Amino acid sequence: MRIAIVDDDPLVRLGLRAVLAAEPGWEVVAEAADGPSAVALTADRPDLVLMDIRMPGGMDGIEATQRITASAPSVRVLILTTFEVDEDVYRALRAGASGFVLKRTPPAQLIEAVRVAGLGESLLLPSSTRGVIERFATVSGPPLPDLSDREHEVLRLLARGRSNAEIAQELFLGLQTVKSHVATLLAKLGVRDRTQAVIAAYESGFVRPGNPA
- The per-residue pLDDT for range 65-74, each reduced to its tens digit, is 999 999 998 8
CA 192 to chain centre: 10
| Residues 13 and 71 both lie in one domain | yes
| Residues 6 and 87 both lie in one domain | yes
Residue 71, burial from CB neighbour count under 10 angstroms (0-12, 13-18, 19+): exposed
Q: Nearest 5°: phi and psi at 29?
A: -95, -15
- The per-residue pLDDT for range 163-183, each reduced to its tens digit, is 888 999 999 999 999 999 999
Percent of the chain at pLDDT above 70? 93
Residue 170 one-letter amino acid: E
| Residues 64 and 109 both lie in one domain | yes
Buried b (16+ CB within 10 A) or exposed e, 149-169: eebebbbbbbbbbbbbeebbe
CATH of the domain at 105: 3.40.50.2300
Tell me the pLDDT band of 151, cut-offs 50, 70 and 90.
very high
| Residues 103 and 188 both lie in one domain | no
The pLDDT score that the predictor gives to residue 211 is 61
Distance, CA of 21 to CA of 97 (rounded, Å): 22
| Residues 14 and 68 both lie in one domain | yes
Give 51's DSSP letter. E
Residue 87 one-letter amino acid: E
Among 136, 161, 183, the domain-final residue is 136
Helix (H) or strand (E) holding 3: strand 2-6
Quickly list H helices, 107-172: 107-118, 127-136, 149-159, 164-171
For the chain, count helices (H), then strands (E). 10, 5
Answer whether residue 143 is part of any domain. Answer: no
| Residues 130 and 153 both lie in one domain | no
CATH of the domain at 158: 1.10.10.10
| Residues 195 and 115 both lie in one domain | no
CA 202 to chain centre: 16
Residue 49 one-letter amino acid: V
Q: What is the pTM of this model?
A: 0.84
Answer whether residue 48 is part of any domain. Answer: yes
| Residues 82 and 178 both lie in one domain | no
Give 143's DSSP letter. P
| Three-class secondary structure of residue 158 per DSSP | helix
| Residues 89 and 177 both lie in one domain | no
- The per-residue pLDDT for range 90-136, each reduced to its tens digit, is 999 999 998 888 888 899 989 988 998 887 765 544 566 777 888 88
Answer whether residue 211 is part of any domain. Answer: no
Answer whether residue 113 is part of any domain. Answer: yes
Q: Give the closest residue to 38 by CA, choosing from 4, 81, 72, 86.
A: 4
Buried b (16+ CB within 10 A) or exposed e, 104-129: eeeeeebbbbbebbbeebbbbbbeeb
Among 136, 163, 185, the domain-final residue is 136
| Residues 14 and 79 both lie in one domain | yes
| Residues 27 and 119 both lie in one domain | yes
Answer whether residue 142 is part of any domain. Answer: no
Answer whether residue 144 is part of any domain. Answer: no
Query: Which structural domain range is residue 125 located in?
Result: 2-136
| Residues 24 and 108 both lie in one domain | yes
Answer whether residue 66 is part of any domain. Answer: yes
Answer whether residue 210 is part of any domain. Answer: no
Question: Is the model's pLDDT at 86 over the cut of 80?
Answer: no
Domain tally, the chain = 2
Mean of pLDDT values over 45-53? 93
Question: Is the model's pLDDT at 212 over the cut of 60?
Answer: no
